Amino acid sequence: MISAALRETNFIFSPSATLYRGKVRDVYRRGDRLLMVASDRISSFDHVLPRAIPHKGQILNQIAAHFLHATRDICPNWLDANPDPNVAIGKACAPVPIEMVIRGYLVGHAWREYRAGRRTLCSVPLPEGMHEADAFPEPIITPATKAEEGHDEDISREDIIARGIVSERVYTQLEDYTRRLFARGTAMAAERGLLLVDTKYEFGLLDGTVYLIDEIHTPDSSRYFYTEGYAERQQRGEHQKQLSKEFVREWLMAHDFQGLEGQTMPEMPDTFVDSVTQRYTELYERITGKAFMPAEVQDMEGRIRGNLRGTGWEVSYPK
């Protein structure tokens, strides 16, 4: 039986707050404060899929909190509190409009570019003779513009600075944080028998200080391989066993959808929706070492409203 899912929220707060609905999160802003509700929406190829995935928002929110707390010694981040399994409250930063993508292995978009014969990505040279899922000699940073709508686009370090998106000083700080965060995530994954394959980080500025914002090391922003059997699978030329959202992309591609104009989004059957929930649950338990405890789902908005009492975010609607 498929559990209920949180598709969206429409809270009205007192004092009032503005609402921005992202692909996954409903973001409420009041002055220099943010409240983010991680919904159960799922996106792929820059499109939100018609069906929501039960418990996905809770899992994302709790994994992100796990890693944000574990990396505060590397760089400051936006998170202050998690009053509800699906909710995060913290600082409102001015977002830097680029995603800092870092790749330890040749997969996904990088592999598709490589297979097409390209040997540079974001002006970063790629070695010859690589195969899908091979490890790079060292992780590479391949930034992407953060698009409001449509597909994000690759961009080089040089173009970021030349266009004045951020100063060279700030970009150097972003690269440093990106490499250090990826190293910490890699070490934490290794302790759990996983390889952190690639990920993206988003940053913002507040009073001149760079903060890590949004989520970190979740299956929506990262790929993981299983360490056990990785070398043997590579040697045999087999696909790697992974924990990530990539299997959703693969399912969509198998049903002739890659987000291109004229393509029709396929409807996910119950069995596939249930398998996505199971994958997300497995990743939560594998990466955190904790058993997943599903939150109450019969009245999710009521639960959130109750958990927000006393936080300064009083919901006046729905009652």
- In this prediction, residue 150 carries a pLDDT of 52
102 has pLDDT over 60: yes
184 has pLDDT over 90: yes
Q: What is 12-93+263-317's CATH topology?
A: Phosphorylase Kinase; domain 1 (3.30.200)
Q: Cα 292 vs. chain centroid, distance in angstroms? A: 19
pLDDT in tens, 53-83: 999 999 999 999 999 999 999 999 999 999 9
Q: What is 95-246's CATH topology?
A: D-amino Acid Aminotransferase; Chain A, domain 1 (3.30.470)
18 has pLDDT over 70: yes
Cα gap 303→86, rounded to integer Å: 10
Q: Give the chain's largest Cα–Cα span.
A: 61
Q: Say whether 95-246 and 12-93+263-317 share the same fold.
A: no
- In this prediction, residue 45 carries a pLDDT of 86
Q: Cα 242 vs. chain centroid, distance in angstroms? A: 16
319 has pLDDT over 90: no
- In this prediction, residue 2 carries a pLDDT of 62
Task: For the chain, give every domain's residue range.
Answer: 12-93+263-317, 95-246
Residue 30's pLDDT band (cuts 50, 70, 90): very high
Q: Cα 122 vs. chain centroid, distance in angstroms? A: 21
pLDDT in tens, 239-274: 998 877 878 988 999 999 998 989 999 999 999 999
pLDDT in tens, 265-312: 999 999 999 999 998 898 899 999 999 999 988 899 999 999 999 999
**Taking a C-beta distance cutoff of 8 angstroms, is the pair 15, 311 a contact?**
no
- Provide the percentage of residues in the chain whose pLDDT is more than 90: 83
pLDDT in tens, 110-153: 999 999 999 999 999 999 999 999 999 999 999 999 765 555 78
3 has pLDDT over 80: no
- Strand pairing partners for 226? 194
Residue 84's pLDDT band (cuts 50, 70, 90): very high
